[in-house]
């Protein structure tokens, strides 16, 4: 049992991470980041998820609009591409050093609260594209944060990444068994009331529900063909 600062974006992975951390009997405080992300509706999802679990949630605000190379923080359009193309390179949605900034600020919160751990929902699918989701990065950051904080000098600060080696399908299977409120989560990179169903994040999420033999409870503006076919096959086996 530990005391854990859980990074909670409002997406599926971070909600599952929070559900997992709590299921293991840990105390948790959720931390969300309002950094000028295009998909700022995720912050409202974060609020609802924390409320669902009855955990305290803090929002840290900062302005990443200088990051003109990312389609999540600039006027650059979020691109749509076939699901097969996802994961082969660093995508335009990559925000420079985002997890380093988030983990650093989380370590400051953890130290201030007297907490011993930080939990982050990085996972196997992400790290094929985002460098700051790779296990070797997470390990290196844990080393650096321990050297650079009072918490690391007087004790040990751990970074928990419970989803690290799971696919999206495995994450969702685990989350369903833990009762994670997926209807409250939001993964879309666009900020429409309904998820777009066209961006990388929507497609990976929908394929995850397909792989978990389940159905995504949230609403979509559009469903990609692979998911429509899957729903039809489910309806009439």
Residues that bind a copy of itself (CB under 8 A): 58, 60-64, 66-69, 90, 94-101, 103-105, 107-109, 111-112, 131-132, 134, 136-137, 140-141, 143-145, 147-153
**Beta strands across the sheet bearing 117-119:** 27-34, 3-7, 117-119, 158-160
CB of 198 to a copy of itself, least distance (A): 24
Cβ at position 120, least distance to a copy of itself in Å: 12
* Pick 142 or 216: Cβ nearer a copy of itself: 142
Q: CA-CA distances (angstroms) from residue 160 to 57, 119, 139, 142?
A: 18, 4, 10, 9
Tell the smallest beta-carbon distance from residue 63 to a copy of itself (Å).
Answer: 7
Closer residue to a copy of itself, CB minimum distance, 96 or 181:
96
As measured in angstroms, the least distance from the Cβ of 140 to a copy of itself is 4
Which two tokens mark 167?
């696919």
Give 133's DSSP letter.
Answer: G
Nearer to a copy of itself, 120 or 184 (CB): 120
Nearer to a copy of itself, 137 or 181 (CB): 137
């Amino acid at each position: 049992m530990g005391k854990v600062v859980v990074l909670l974006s409002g997406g599926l992975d971070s909600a599952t991470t929070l559900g997992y951390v709590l299921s293991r009997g840990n105390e948790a405080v959720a931390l969300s980041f309002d950094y000028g992300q295009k998909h700022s509706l995720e912050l409202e999802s974060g609020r609802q998820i924390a409320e669902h679990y009855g955990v305290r949630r803090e929002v840290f605000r900062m302005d990443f609009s200088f990051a003109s190379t990312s389609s999540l923080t600039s006027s650059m359009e979020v691109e749509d591409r076939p699901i097969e193309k996802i994961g082969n390179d660093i995508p335009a949605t990559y925000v420079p050093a985002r997890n380093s900034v988030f983990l650093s600020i989380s370590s400051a919160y953890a130290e201030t609260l007297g907490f011993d751990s930080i939990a982050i929902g990085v996972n196997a699918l992400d790290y094929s594209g985002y460098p700051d989701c790779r296990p070797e990065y997470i390990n290196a950051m844990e080393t650096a944060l321990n050297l650079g904080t009072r918490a690391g000098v007087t004790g040990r600060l751990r970074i928990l990444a419970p989803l690290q080696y799971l696919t999206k399908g495995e994450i969702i299977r685990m989350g369903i068994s833990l009762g994670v409120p997926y209807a409250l989560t939001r993964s879309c990179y666009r900020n429409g009331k309904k998820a777009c169903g066209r961006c990388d994040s929507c497609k990976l999420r929908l394929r995850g529900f397909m792989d978990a033999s389940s159905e995504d409870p949230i609403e979509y503006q559009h469903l990609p063909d692979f998911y429509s076919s899957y729903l039809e096959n489910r309806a009439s086996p």
